[in-house]
């Protein structure tokens, strides 16, 4: 038979525990939520690895997309507040009048390095960009891969009329093997894997001086106009900048997480991270000029109708936060 005193004590403890759980749940429910668009869990993994993924005063609601254009569409539609991408989608967003702004910028710290490249099959007779005239080139429209192709064609005195553009959403080396394209833009980890396996040969890398090598945190104007939500964005910008700094200073630890995100070995993940270290930087005149150059080239090729003023795309209110992180204060 159950001891009445024990039963009474148990019920009292249970009540306390239940009240504490309800209070905790209620407190969590009351916390504001920042809705962040990721791409293939990459940003979430990096922030989590650095121990920055659990803010105490708000919650981060993650959603995943493929490509910056999809992130911008979600922001414009109001389902997310903030997202990350390379710079090219913002060229088309500005040209279309999308209500989004760049709030923070990362850049490659080693000139001439990039996580994308224009590649051909290792045994291809194509050995220069000039050899691509009349050939089929695969890339994803509205992304940095399209800008890489645009820049390389322009440097070779060619334009998109001189090639056959092939829109690729899912990319693998099979598009070379089956003749779908003669060349395409490859990204990590496929790029390093293909080179090491002897399947791919690089015609040209992205990154400086070919492409800017920027990564953008982009927020909706609606979120930025809300003081409370803008404060969450400010905290998230700091967390992201700290995470990227931690990543380049702790490559071996970061590689363990990147390996899972990319589904590669830690050794390969570490190789990629060391080859292209990143850092967040205040939005200065060089960043605006780089974006303007990109916008102007797309305008030259007739891919956007009117010339845009790139300086209007950036929100500078978080620059001081980024500067403090990078300066170690």
Give the per-residue pLDDT at 29: 62
d(CA 72, CA 80) in angstroms, rounded, equals 9
Total-model pTM: 0.86
User: Residues 320, 231: one domain?
Assistant: yes
Record the tokens describing residue 71, joined without a space.
Answer: 């992130």
User: Residues 1, 23: one domain?
Assistant: yes
Record the tokens describing residue 322, joined without a space.
Answer: 């980024």
3-state secondary structure of 134: coil
User: Residues 220, 296: one domain?
Assistant: yes
The neighbour count for residue 11, using CB atoms within 10 Å, is 10
User: Residues 122, 198: one domain?
Assistant: yes
Count of structural domains within the chain: 3
Last residue of a domain, one of 153, 177, 205: 205
Domain of residue 24 covers: 1-29
The neighbour count for residue 112, using CB atoms within 10 Å, is 13
- Mean pLDDT, the chain cut into blocks of 10 residues (329 residues total): 44 43 53 95 91 96 95 98 97 97 94 89 97 96 95 96 90 87 93 93 93 95 98 98 96 91 88 91 96 97 95 98 89
User: Residues 235, 301: one domain?
Assistant: yes
d(CA 189, CA 141) in angstroms, rounded, equals 20
d(CA 162, CA 19) in angstroms, rounded, equals 70
Element (H, E) at 244: helix 227-249
Contact 325, 238 (CB under 8 A): yes
**Which bin fits 97, alpha (ψ -120 to 50), beta or left (φ > 0)?**
left
Give the per-residue pLDDT at 226: 98
3-state secondary structure of 207: coil
Nearest one of 281, 277, 283 to 241, comparing CA atoms: 281
User: Residues 90, 145: one domain?
Assistant: no
What's the angle, vertex CA 60, arms to CA 63 and CA 242, rounded to 5?
A: 105
Give the per-residue pLDDT at 260: 85
Last residue of a domain, one of 166, 182, 205: 205
User: Residues 102, 148: one domain?
Assistant: no
Contact 34, 234 (CB under 8 A): no
Contact 83, 36 (CB under 8 A): yes
User: Residues 310, 219: one domain?
Assistant: yes
Report long-range pairs for 248-254 (Cβ below 8 Å, ≥24 apart): 248/109, 248/273, 248/277, 248/278, 248/279, 253/49, 254/46, 254/49, 254/50
User: Residues 295, 322: one domain?
Assistant: yes
User: Residues 191, 237: one domain?
Assistant: no
Task: Give me the CATH number covering residue 169.
Answer: 3.40.190.10
Contact 189, 272 (CB under 8 A): yes
Contact 36, 10 (CB under 8 A): no
Give the per-residue pLDDT at 329: 61
Q: Taking the C-alpha atoms of 64, 65, 71 and 76 in order, what is their torsion angle to the nearest 10 degrees?
A: -80
Handedness of CA 268, 275, 289, 280 (dihedral sign): positive
User: Residues 221, 312: one domain?
Assistant: yes
Last residue of a domain, one of 205, 240, 274: 205
Element (H, E) at 223: helix 221-225
d(CA 17, CA 23) in angstroms, rounded, equals 10
The neighbour count for residue 80, using CB atoms within 10 Å, is 25
User: Residues 77, 222: one domain?
Assistant: yes
């Amino acid at each position: 038979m159950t001891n009445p005193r024990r039963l009474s004590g148990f019920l009292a403890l249970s009540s306390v525990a239940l009240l504490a759980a309800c209070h905790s749940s209620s407190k969590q429910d009351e916390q504001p939520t920042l809705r962040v668009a990721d791409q293939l869990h990459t940003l979430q993994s990096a922030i989590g690895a650095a121990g920055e993924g659990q803010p105490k005063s708000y919650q981060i609601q993650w959603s995943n997309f493929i490509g910056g254009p999809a992130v911008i569409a979600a922001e414009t539609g109001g389902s997310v507040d903030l997202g990350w991408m390379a710079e090219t989608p913002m060229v088309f967003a500005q040209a279309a009048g999308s209500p989004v702004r760049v709030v923070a910028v990362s850049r490659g710290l080693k000139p001439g390095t990039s996580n994308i490249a224009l590649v051909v099959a290792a045994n291809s007779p194509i050995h220069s960009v000039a050899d691509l005239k009349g050939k089929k080139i695969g890339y994803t429209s509205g992304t940095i891969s399209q800008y890489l192709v645009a820049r390389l064609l322009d440097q070779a005195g060619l334009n998109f009329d001189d090639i056959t553009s092939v829109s690729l959403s899912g990319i693998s080396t099979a598009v070379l093997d089956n003749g779908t394209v003669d060349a395409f833009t490859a990204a990590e980890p496929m790029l390093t894997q293909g080179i090491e396996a002897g399947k791919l040969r690089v015609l040209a890398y992205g990154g400086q001086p070919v492409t800017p090598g920027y990564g953008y945190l982009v927020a909706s104007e609606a979120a930025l106009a809300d003081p409370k939500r803008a404060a969450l964005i400010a905290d998230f910008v700091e967390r992201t900048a700290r995470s990227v700094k931690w990543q380049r200073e702790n490559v071996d630890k970061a590689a363990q997480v990147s390996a899972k995100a990319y589904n590669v070995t830690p050794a390969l993940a570490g190789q990629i991270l060391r080859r292209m270290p990143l850092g967040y930087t205040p939005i200065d005149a060089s960043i605006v000029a780089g974006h303007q150059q990109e916008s102007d080239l797309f305008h030259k090729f007739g891919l956007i109708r009117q010339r845009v003023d790139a300086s209007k795309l950036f929100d500078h209110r978080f620059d001081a936060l980024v500067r403090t992180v990078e300066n170690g204060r």
